[in-house]
Amino acid sequence: MRVMAQMGMVMNLDKCIGCHTCSVTCKQAWTNRAGTEYVWFNNVETRPGQGYPRRYEDQEKWQGGWSLNKRGKLVLKAGGRVSKMFGLFASPVQPELKDYYEPWTYDYKTLIDAPLGDDFPVARPKSLITGKDTKITWSANWDDDLGGSPEMGHLDPVIEKLRRESEDTIKLEFEKTFMFYLPRICEHCLNPSCMASCPSGAIYKRVEDGIVLVDQDKCRGWRQCITGCPYKKMYFNHKTGKAEKCTFCYPRIEVGLPTVCSETCVGRLRYLGLFLYDADAVTAAASVTDPQELYDAQMDVLLDPHDPAVIAAARAQGIQDDWIDAAQRSPVYALAKVYKVALPLHPEYRTMPMVWYVPPLSPVVDLLKEQGHDAEDYGNLFGAIDALRIPVEYLAELFTAGDAERVTAVLKKLAAMRSYMRGISMGNDPDDSIPAAVGMSGQDMYEMYRLMAIAKYEERYVIPQAHMEQAHDLEEMGCSLDFDGGPGMQDSPFGEASGKPTPVAVETFNALRDRQTSDTVAGEQSLRGRVNLLNWDGNGTPRGLFPDKRDAPRMSADSPAHREEP
Amino acid sequence: MDILLWGVLPYVMMVVLVGGLIWRYKYDQFGWTTRSSQLYESRLLRIGSPVFHFGLLAVIAGHFFGLVIPMSWTQAVGMSQDFYHFNALFVGGIAGIGTLGGIILLIYRRRTTGPVFMATTRNDKMMYVVLTAAIVFGLWTTLASVFLGEEGHNYRATVSPWFRSLFIFQPDIAAMTNAPFAFHLHTLVGMLLFTIWPFTRLVHAFTAPLHYLFRPYIVYRSRDKGKVAGRAVAEPVRRGWSAVGTRDRDTRNR
């Protein structure tokens, strides 16, 4: 047994209102740079829907994840090592920009600068790739809120599969449609296929917390990871020529703060905490024959942090006591393994994903309410869950490789919790037959309710800080100090994309120091002419923030007079 | 002049190539990438790029065969001059034409696909000129030496001995001087190509990921316990910077 710690996330889909705050704050924090315009480390999809990139779940086309070969051995679906080498010169299965979308902005300047005329000036959409006029045809979230469902619904790979397998068709008329939101980040898998696909070995899993990262120095841009990841959460930065991915906000996690997407989540639906798992058991667990047994196999890999044998093994592996304590209090472990209400996304990809989802009960509740039933009564809810085959089967295709019973069991637990707690808050005696109907005690159910419904900040996020003695091994510490050329950052002869990348902390630190110590515009030098609103203190006018004054003579951007404008 | 061209320049080229690669590996690994444009355009790339690269691998193999293996060796195993030439024409010609066709397609794609052209730097353009020139002149020497038949030049008596003599630091300048102009031109452009190599996107060739065939699928980055305290000492830190947790600042063990 090799015990390792893994940061995990659980998202409670019942609470997601699809506001995209997580996506926007994540983009502001991580992918607001040139080359990553089209990249959303976090995105929120409306299901049923095609997702982003379009139809990424169609693995017959995209070849992501793992599959079993004839001898039952785990192999990359896109091909083994040798065939990958032959595909090096032009990756055979590769999403193009049109499969994501062509990012754009608007020509806002025209609104201000247009000469007086009869027509209203219009801000035309401009492609962020070519800079030319563009026609907006698609985006990362085009079919939000079932936009265009009757026309596009059948393009959802999950709907397609369900239709193929069942005789009756899934109706997508608006009235009969169910809908929910699915926020997605990198799964930080235990058995990541992106990592296995990387010819350079640049993608690695951190021993300390299991976060999967790309070494930007080692990445050579062969793009095999993008094919390898079945969730298509690997992205190619087309300016630097390197792969980038969700970082699980490691600089925040290391100091005990939740990720940006979790911190800013309006619905407070995200949970962060530790799993302890047996690293030696991962490959065998990912290789079980029946895809529907992958969930159980994944459960077996997760270790009970209260088990003395596990604690002893964890200590032997150098896991500190405060981390073991955090693992014992972990909300993600509780939701995934103790209460068994959180399910992994697409376990059939065999990557052992570590971002879990509590499937939504709300489509069922809404339907009952519309039909005039008491939607809080567990009898009604249980009946409805059994009767409503389509939502359950759809959810099963997402979370249990098609095992509808497992999803039904989770939904019934959620329904029972609803019913049980309503009884209590109405002042009735707790009806312990309700939790018993789903195999739980009243006490367990109350604790689950506290975690899921009250969801206090400190109960949602149990993040042990990285140890100082480990600090040298963690990215921020490691590279911020041996960073060549120092934080001053001269431009390299090969352009901005070359040279060592500026560590996040260094850039922020410098901007902060500039802001606090300088009398002029802060961050002008350290940000190399880019405008970062976070570092603008209202002091002066950074280049590029405002349009040129009309009566002032046009000056080149580099002219010193322009820069020193008060 | 000949001494400069065939006695000095090759060594200058080698120094720049090796020194440049070491320098770039040390200081610009972040810029060390293929800078793929497949995200913008995939259809033409998927034809042009493999044709070019596989052609190029064959061309490199051909150069090795022609330059490194002495003529006496191939004759010793009973390979006639005619057979050698037939091979050179057939394999070398096909490889050369494939490489040329591939790069023409790639350049066409680069020029006509908007986003790809916009992502092309001046450095790239210069590199393409030199690379294409090297391929064109190389193909010319191959075809010329074969189609001229008996009158054709036997480079294995001139260029190859000179090439091998470079490695023992006794350059056989006279042999190279005797080669015709086409070979001189191809060699010079080739040397230019290798000189600019470390400073262009061509560097990606030197990190061909052959170790992928042997490494484990899952990569963990483990902390090395012995290194924890000594890392800042083991790695030179910039003057004036002291790391957090290094000996002078670390008070935990005092």
pLDDT, tens digit, 9 for 90 and up, residues A127-142: 999 889 999 988 888 8
Cα separation, B32 vs A185, whole angstroms: 28
Does residue B121 have a pLDDT over 60? yes
Closest to A272 (Cα-Cα) out of A329, A337, A232, A346: A329
Interface check for B112 against chain A (CB to CB < 8 A): the answer is no
Contact check, Cβ <8 Å, B27/A499: yes
Contact check, Cβ <8 Å, B53/A195: no
pLDDT of residue B4: 85
Cα separation, B218 vs B227, whole angstroms: 23
Interface test with A, best of B37, B38, B242 (most A CBs within 10 A): B38
Task: Answer for the pair A200, A363: CB distance below 8 angstroms, yes or no.
Answer: no
Contact check, Cβ <8 Å, A203/B219: yes
Q: Which of A196, A200, A498 sits opposite B28 (nearest CB)?
A: A498
pLDDT of residue B89: 80
Count CB-CB contacts under 10 A for residue A209.
Answer: 23
For every residue of A401-456, DSSP letters joined together read TT-HHHHHHHHHHHHHHHHHHHHHHTTPPP-THHHHHTT--HHHHHHHHIIIII--
For B106, the token pair is 């790639």
Closest to A412 (Cα-Cα) out of A439, A431, A441: A439
Residue B93 CB partners (closer than 8 Å, separation 6+) = B139, B142, B143, B146
pLDDT of residue A474: 53
Q: Which of A195, A206, A482 sits opposite B217 (nearest CB)?
A: A195
Does residue B87 have a pLDDT over 60? yes
Does residue B243 have a pLDDT over 60? no
For A75, the token pair is 């192999």
Residue A277 CB partners (closer than 8 Å, separation 6+) = A3, A4, A6, A190, A301, A302, A303
Closest to A229 (Cα-Cα) out of A141, A345, A129, A139: A345
Interface check for B119 against chain A (CB to CB < 8 A): the answer is yes
Q: Which of A89, A192, A494 sits opposite B53 (nearest CB)?
A: A89
A-contacting residues of B 50-79, CB under 8 Å?
Answer: 50, 52-54
Burial class (CB in 10 A: 0-12, 13-18, 19+), A515: middle
For A209, the token pair is 């917390």
pLDDT of residue A261: 95
Task: Answer for the pair A238, A275: CB distance below 8 angstroms, yes or no.
Answer: no
For A477, the token pair is 């510490």
Task: Answer for the pair A40, A31: CB distance below 8 angstroms, yes or no.
Answer: yes
Q: What is the pLDDT of residues B181-215, one digit of tens each?
A: 888 899 999 999 999 999 999 999 998 888 898 88
Q: What is the pLDDT of residues B137-184, one digit of tens each?
A: 988 888 777 676 655 677 878 888 899 888 988 888 888 888 888 888
Cα separation, A2 vs A6, whole angstroms: 13
A508: left (phi over 0), alpha (psi -120 to 50) or beta: alpha
Cα separation, A36 vs A140, whole angstroms: 13
What are residue A357's phi and psi, to 5 degrees? -130, 135
Strand residues in A144-280 grouped as ranges (E) = 180-184, 203-206, 212-214, 234-237, 242-245, 270-278
Instruction: Give the gap in angstroms from C-alpha A181 to the nearest C-alpha of chain B.
Output: 28
ipTM score: 0.82
What are residue A278's phi and psi, to 5 degrees? -95, 105
Closest-CA residue of chain B to A87: B50
A-contacting residues of B 17-46, CB under 8 Å?
Answer: 27-42, 45-46
Instruction: Give the gap in angstroms from C-alpha B246 to the nearest C-alpha of chain A.
Output: 10
Cα separation, A67 vs A510, whole angstroms: 47
pLDDT of residue A170: 61
Cα separation, A25 vs A270, whole angstroms: 15
Interface check for B239 against chain A (CB to CB < 8 A): the answer is no
Residue % of chain B over a pLDDT of 70: 84
Continuous segment of H or E residues that includes residue A193:
helix A193-197
Cα separation, A73 vs A59, whole angstroms: 19
pLDDT of residue A263: 93
pLDDT under 50: residue ranges of chain A: 471-472, 475-491, 554-566
Contact check, Cβ <8 Å, B30/A216: yes
For every residue of A332-392, DSSP letters joined together read HHIIIIIS---EES-GGG-S---EEEE---HHHHHHHHHTTS-TT-HHHHHHHHHH-HHHH
Contact check, Cβ <8 Å, B209/A200: yes
Residue A285 half-sphere exposure toward CB, CA atoms < 13 A: 22
Task: Answer for the pair A483, B237: CB distance below 8 angstroms, yes or no.
Answer: no
